[in-house]
Amino acid sequence: MSTTYAANKTLPLRVEIVRQFKRRRTMVMFGLMLALPWILVIAFKVGPQSNNPGNALRISDLASAGALNFAAFSLSVSVFLLVVAVALFCGDTVASEANWSSLRYLLAAPVPRDRLLRQKLIVAMGYAAAAVISMPLMALLAGTLAFGWDDIQVPGTGETIPAMDALPRFAIVIGYALVCQLVTGALAFLLSTMTDSPLGAVGGAVGLWIVCQILQAVEALGVIREFLPTFWNNAWLDAIAPEPDYSGMAKGVAISITYAALLIALSFRRFRHKDVVS
Amino acid sequence: MKRMAALVVALAVLGVTVWLVWPSGPGVQGQEQRITVVDGPNDDQKVDLDTTFFPPAQGGKAPAVLLAHGFGSAKESMRNQARQLAEAGYAVLTWSARGFGKSTGQIALNSPDYEVKDVKQLIDWLAKRPEVLLDKEGDPRVGMAGGSYGGAISLMTAAYDDRVDAIVPQITWYDLADALFPNGTGQGPESGVFKKAWAGFFFGRGGIAQGSGLQGGLEALNRQVQPLSPEEARCGRFLPEICDVYQQIASTGKATPEAVALLRKSSPVSVQGRIKAPTLLIQGQRDSLFTLAQADGNARAVAGPVQVMWFDGGHDGGNGEVDYLYEKTLGWLDRWLKQQPQPEGPAFSVTRDGGRDPGTRQRIRLHPETAQYPGLSGTMTTPVELRGPEQNIVNPPGGTPPSISTVPGVGGLLGGGGSGGGGQSNLSVSLDMPGQSAVFESAPLTRPLQLTGGASAKIRVYGKGEVTLFGKLYDVSDSLQPPNLPSGQISPVKVTIPEGADSVEATITLPVVDYLFPAGHRMRLALTTTDMGFSTPAEPASYRVALADPALAVPSVKGLSEPPPGLAWWVWAMPLAAIVVAAAVLATGRTRRARAGTASDVPLEITGLTKAYSNGFKAVDDLSFRVEQGQVLGLLGPNGAGKTTTMRMMMGLIHPDGGTIRIFGEEVTPGAPVLSRLGSFVEGPGFLPHLSGRENLDLYWAATGRPASEAHFDEALEIAGLGNAINRAVRTYSQGMRQRLAIAQAMLGLPDLLVLDEPTNGLDPPQIREMREVLKRYAQDGRTVIVSSHLLAEVEQTCSHVVVMHRGKLVSEGPVARLLATSNGHGPRLEDVFLDLIGEK
């Protein structure tokens, strides 16, 4: 008699982390995240120095000014990669189990459905967060080694903010980048519970991101665009300014949390009632 | 369900699209009128004005607005704005000023004797209209708005007619003489430098290319040119006196006292203190014709309430900010004509580059404001030290090649200027010819410096006679980027070196701009002898220029900042609402809790089990049977009989539509704890391909949360029989290996009830035999095994009991032996019995 069974001990986070960690796509994704800053460093070292004739200093013109500038630049150009990483970790997690047929054995183990989703969501979000964080941190390291540790120069006016003042703001920026990806992650997760195809879930989330990007270029939509989940993705640039402006980021956080809460609630509700036939 | 959702989405998209493209109702229709007025110094000249009246869209009596057009255009250019205002509840009258469009008469440059008298009579006409609200008999509630030439008539009319209740003059002049003969030394137009390019452009539009705005754009260029009579060619539609004065000043480049008097008669400078109507002065930052200094003059000339706006536009182009200006104009009219309570407006606002929008990352414009109009010298002055030696510069013979700052008309053609279009033409064409400039530079700024107003510098000029110079204040970033001349504005200066002296000192005011000099940039004062837009002396000369005082006085306006917009309500409300909704979604979506059951030792009891798929097909239909401890039950049926569906329901993977499954007395629901007593293998193995067989088993067991000591890994591994392959990644396994591993996984923890779906698929005959023994042994220890199969021989040899299903229904159940006994003559083989039962024989 198995009296030792307890629902709240099933699928411990440690087990799920190990299950996911040894996968090739986890390794590849982290490898890519950690390699990207170095690729950029090489690009800046090899490529000819650009002499932008315009008046405004762009973030790319300042990328080699110092570690913080380089990290900010890396973050600004790798938005799509972050989206893919988050969509991958969150979209693949349930769908791939369904695809391998291992989902039904976990459910019959039994891991209660809510708990299975919760544990998987925590681990997937954890991996996604680690991927998102690792990139700018590696960029800081790569930037320090390649361009030295220096005060951050602000795009546009070229003013400098002391590195020690900028560092906490940089933490906010990374945090904001994480929150922004919540929507992508939540949507990928919802799709993941709906399909047996991991690629479908990942692609669906990335696809929605692309559609939002396209829609937000349509100026005729006016204020409606403010409610697109991707609209405020770049608002963190305002934190790296002589006088940081957090209003855009506040809106971005509000939008992200709104969509993410609804999507995650929906994914739990759907999964509870789902007939698992995979 | 899915179709329903898709339908709803499709309908929503359709609805929004229709709503967006639905044609709006017919706009306000204008009524064409010809209104005859009498003007002239002696009130004896009849002029026919071509007008259009737009009644207020809402009907009733409404305040009236006179919309005046710019120089060189006609009433048609105001049609759109007139419609908008009529929609907003105003009676709007547009007209072509005398000498323009289809109106008769000649251009008198907004003279009090001509144009002002015309407009007073238009107000008389409005007072008789039934649509127009009256303050009293003959005094309509009326406002005036217009740009450039139309702005000046607004100011002049307000000065001469007290009935005007509010005006919004845009990009217009305070002193036409000063605008055409500016002098940065402040000594007045008599000694000013003739702005020949703009003057010629201005005069040239007076009658020849009719019907197009000052910024008429390409339209005007594409028109067929009509042949002109000699008088037309000479003066166009100008009044002869004005034509004569122009010809004189244009050929000499000097302002005669008569010319100054004539131009000033048409300028608000002549009516200082007489304008009582509340005035919103909108002046362009990109305007080398009517500079911001002109608006400053008007701000001081107006006696009534006044507000000054510096917007991104003007005669040189810029964005134009059409929507913003309309909104502000309407706000001003609403406040003073409709007496709608409006928030106490600022006295002064400036359009500035606001960086990028946090969302779109597009450039945005901010409109910082102050409660006080600070004038041109700001509220504070920052001295910036300039350096540079005494420098020799020349005025080239004939004044060529000239330096370039702005080219009149080019901005208008490219950008649409104030007349419409949202084009950005921040084209910088500034160019200083070598040898013509004396240059003085500051050290790199240590902090950003905001210049708002006209900076001033003290210079000393060595030479002889009259010296014409052009003062420019550049923003120099570094050697890679060309210096930027803010808004392309320059300040012409004419100084006279007295007889007998070798030099003269002069304080010069540099162009009025609002510009942020970023930290690290240098400020450069350049003094140039020529400019393409101005008339400069033809005689060659050389001068020496030095700084009399190294300090450049840079005015700034303190507190000129945009009030930070409060956090939008949805920023906090939306996430909160979403979390509440999410909680509700989760709380209401709970699955049915299992009805409390009493523990029993009946391994499996199925009662009335029914499952229909969404297409209505009943996979399982009212199925009931019971399995006792120690049995090896064969679940038999052809493909599609509902065996697998039943097994999935036993595992809690599929929700039954009716009936119950009880395992040891407990009802099965998704994730029911009793499932821990069930080992299962259904529809093939499910492993993580990147992990080894052992890791898969370890992690599976870890996922059950039960202690490893209960798992009985050794027994399971023995059943799997994979040898060393157990440490290889599962993706390298053959079908049979996976199958055995999966059965081993089902047996982990030695569950009391083992459910296997087609366990012998993919096994070779010795393995099948072995598996048979394993299952029999497993049941001998008091545990129960359920095996589904379509291999009859298999069931016959392995099972003690059998349940036969067909099309979701139970056909027969009982011990295998009994079932064989019931065979009605077709032979003692289970196959015969089975085929008989399902009616295939």
Tokens 């919760």 -> residue = A118
Say whether both B677 and B806 belong to one domain: yes
Residue B173 has pLDDT above 90, yes or no: yes
What's the pLDDT tens digit per position in B383-441? 999 999 999 999 998 888 888 887 776 654 443 333 333 333 344 567 788 888 999 99
Pick B700's closest partner by Cβ from A105, A250, A275: A105
The mean pLDDT value for B437-449 works out to 90
Pick B565's closest partner by Cβ from A10, A242, A247: A247
* Interface contact B723, partner A, CB < 8 A: no
For residue B332, CA distances in Å to B44, B273, B379, B418, B745 come to: 36, 21, 26, 18, 80
**Looking at CA atoms only, how far is residue B614 from chain A in angstroms?**
11
Q: B707 near B758, Cβ under 8 Å? A: no
DSSP notation for A128-173: HHHHHHHHHHHHHHHHHHHH-S-PEEPTBT--EE-HHHHHHHHHHH
Say whether both B358 and B389 belong to one domain: no
Span of B48-52, B354-358, B700-704 with lowest mean pLDDT = B354-358
pLDDT given for residue A164 in this prediction: 87
Say whether both B360 and B422 belong to one domain: no
ipTM at complex level:
0.91
Pick A158's closest partner by Cβ from B360, B520, B678: B520
- Answer whether residue A1 is part of any domain: no
DSSP notation for B153-207: HHHHHHHH-TTEEEEEEES--S-HHHHHS--TTS--GGG----HHHHHHHHHTTT
Say whether both B78 and B123 belong to one domain: yes
Residue contact B355–A238, C-beta within 8 A: yes
Say whether both B360 and B387 belong to one domain: no
- pLDDT bin (cut points 50, 70, 90) of residue B443 is very high
- Answer whether residue B821 is part of any domain: yes
Residue B451 has pLDDT above 60, yes or no: yes
Phi then psi for residue B311, to 5 deg, are: -110, 170
Residue contact A19–B591, C-beta within 8 A: no
DSSP notation for A77-135: H-HHHHHHHHHHHHHHHHHHHHHHTHHHHHHHTT--HHHHHHHHHHHHHHHHHHHHHHH
Residue A2 has pLDDT above 60, yes or no: no
Span of A2-6, B427-431, B613-617, B695-699 with lowest mean pLDDT = B427-431
What's the pLDDT tens digit per position in B651-688? 999 999 999 999 999 999 888 899 999 999 998 899 99
- Answer whether residue A103 is part of any domain: yes
Q: Which amino acid is at B617?
A: F
pLDDT given for residue A165 in this prediction: 86
For residue B773, CA distances in Å to A49, B770, B777, B780 come to: 77, 5, 6, 11
Say whether both B406 and B362 belong to one domain: no
CB atoms inside a 10 Å sphere around CB B115: 27
- Answer whether residue B397 is part of any domain: yes
Structure tokens at B444: 């790199």
The mean pLDDT value for B140-149 works out to 92
The mean pLDDT value for A90-108 works out to 94
Residue contact A272–B590, C-beta within 8 A: yes
- A50 CB neighbours in chain B (<8 A) are none
* CATH assignment at residue B526: 2.60.120.260
What's the pLDDT tens digit per position in A203-226? 999 999 999 989 888 888 878 888
pLDDT given for residue B413 in this prediction: 46
What's the pLDDT tens digit per position in B729-743? 999 999 889 999 999
* Interface contact B130, partner A, CB < 8 A: no
| Total domains, chain B | 3
pLDDT given for residue B417 in this prediction: 35
What is the C-alpha separation between B330 and B266, in angstroms, rounded? 27
- Answer whether residue A33 is part of any domain: yes
pLDDT given for residue B567 in this prediction: 75
Residue contact A157–B519, C-beta within 8 A: yes
- pLDDT bin (cut points 50, 70, 90) of residue B218 is low
Instruction: Of B550, B551, B555, B480, give the one whose Cα is nearest residue B517.
Output: B555
On the 0-12 / 13-18 / 19+ scale of CB atoms within 10 A, B48 is middle
The mean pLDDT value for B243-255 works out to 87
pLDDT given for residue B2 in this prediction: 63
Say whether both B414 and B521 belong to one domain: yes
Q: Which residue of A has its CA nearest to B644?
A: A277
- Answer whether residue A4 is part of any domain: no
Domain that holds residue A161: 11-273
Local structure of B100: helix, strand or coil: coil
Interface probe, candidates B13, B569, B601, B704, chain A, greatest A C-beta count within 10 A: B704
The mean pLDDT value for A181-201 works out to 94
Buried (b) or exposed (e) across A103-139, using 16+ Cβ within 10 A?
Answer: bbbbbbbbbbbbbbbebbbebbbebbbebbbbbbbbb
Say whether both B363 and B408 belong to one domain: no
* Interface contact B603, partner A, CB < 8 A: no
pLDDT given for residue B209 in this prediction: 44
- Answer whether residue A81 is part of any domain: yes
Q: Which of residues 496-535 of B touch A (CB under 8 A)?
A: 516, 518-520
For residue A87, the number of C-alpha atoms closer than 13 Å in the C-beta half-sphere is: 22
pLDDT given for residue B425 in this prediction: 38
The mean pLDDT value for B541-569 works out to 84
Looking at chain B, the whole-number percentage of residues with pLDDT higher than 90 is 43
- Answer whether residue B542 is part of any domain: yes
- pLDDT bin (cut points 50, 70, 90) of residue B236 is confident
- Answer whether residue B461 is part of any domain: yes
Between residues B535 and B28, the one the model is more confident about: B535
- Mean pLDDT (chain B, rounded): 85
Which residues make Cβ contacts (< 8 Å) with residue B545, sequence separation at least 6? B390, B391, B393, B438, B459, B460, B461, B462, B469, B527
Say whether both B808 and B786 belong to one domain: yes
Residue contact A269–B585, C-beta within 8 A: yes
Span of A16-20, A79-83, B776-780 with lowest mean pLDDT = B776-780
| Total domains, chain A | 1
Phi then psi for residue B217, to 5 deg, are: 75, -160
Count H helices and E strands in chain A, helices first.
Answer: 9, 2
Residue contact A264–B577, C-beta within 8 A: no
Span of A164-168, B277-281, B439-443, B793-797 with lowest mean pLDDT = B793-797
Q: Which residue of B has its CA nearest to A266?
A: B585
Span of B294-298, B309-313, B482-486 with lowest mean pLDDT = B482-486
- pLDDT bin (cut points 50, 70, 90) of residue B207 is low
Q: Number of A to B CB contacts under 8 A, please give it.
A: 219
pLDDT given for residue B435 in this prediction: 86
Say whether both B672 and B815 belong to one domain: yes
pLDDT given for residue A243 in this prediction: 76
**Looking at CA atoms only, how far is residue A79 from chain B in angstroms?**
14
Domain that holds residue B68: 31-179+261-370
Residue B824 has pLDDT above 80, yes or no: no
- Answer whether residue B227 is part of any domain: no
Q: B419 near B220, Cβ under 8 Å? A: no
Residue B358 has pLDDT above 80, yes or no: no
Say whether both B659 and B784 belong to one domain: yes
- A8 CB neighbours in chain B (<8 A) are 705
What is the C-alpha separation between A130 and A148, in angstroms, rounded? 25
What is the C-alpha separation between A12 and B351, in angstroms, rounded? 59
Residue contact A23–B690, C-beta within 8 A: yes
- pLDDT bin (cut points 50, 70, 90) of residue B230 is confident
Which residues make Cβ contacts (< 8 Å) with residue A115, sequence separation at least 6? A7, A8, A10, A11, B671
DSSP notation for B259-286: HHHHHHHTSGGGGTT-B-S-EEEEEESS
Phi then psi for residue A195, to 5 deg, are: -125, 160
The distance from CA B667 to its chain's CA centroid, rounded to whole angstroms, is 57
Q: B92 near B63, Cβ under 8 Å? A: no
The mean pLDDT value for B535-542 works out to 88
**Looking at CA atoms only, how far is residue A127 from chain B in angstroms?**
18
Q: Which of residues 638-677 of B touch A (CB under 8 A)?
A: 648, 651-655, 670-673, 675-677
What's the pLDDT tens digit per position in A154-184? 876 667 788 888 889 999 999 999 999 999 9
* Interface contact B580, partner A, CB < 8 A: no
Q: Any idea how long chain B is?
A: 841
pLDDT given for residue B419 in this prediction: 33
Instruction: Of B381, B388, B508, B372, give the one whose Cα is nearest residue B449.
Output: B381
**Looking at CA atoms only, how far is residue A2 from chain B in angstroms?**
6
- Answer whether residue A246 is part of any domain: yes
- Answer whether residue B564 is part of any domain: no
- Answer whether residue B396 is part of any domain: yes
Structure tokens at A64: 């080699």
pLDDT given for residue A244 in this prediction: 83
Omega before residue B408 within 30° of 0, cis: no
What is the C-alpha separation between A105 and B26, in angstroms, rounded? 67
pLDDT given for residue B93 in this prediction: 94
Span of A188-197, B691-700, B788-797 with lowest mean pLDDT = B788-797
Say whether both B615 and B545 belong to one domain: no
Between residues A49 and B284, the one the model is more confident about: B284
Q: In B40-191, where do the E strands start and end?
A: 45-54, 64-68, 91-95, 134-136, 139-140, 142-147, 164-170
pLDDT given for residue B689 in this prediction: 93
**Looking at CA atoms only, how far is residue B344 from chain A in angstroms?**
25
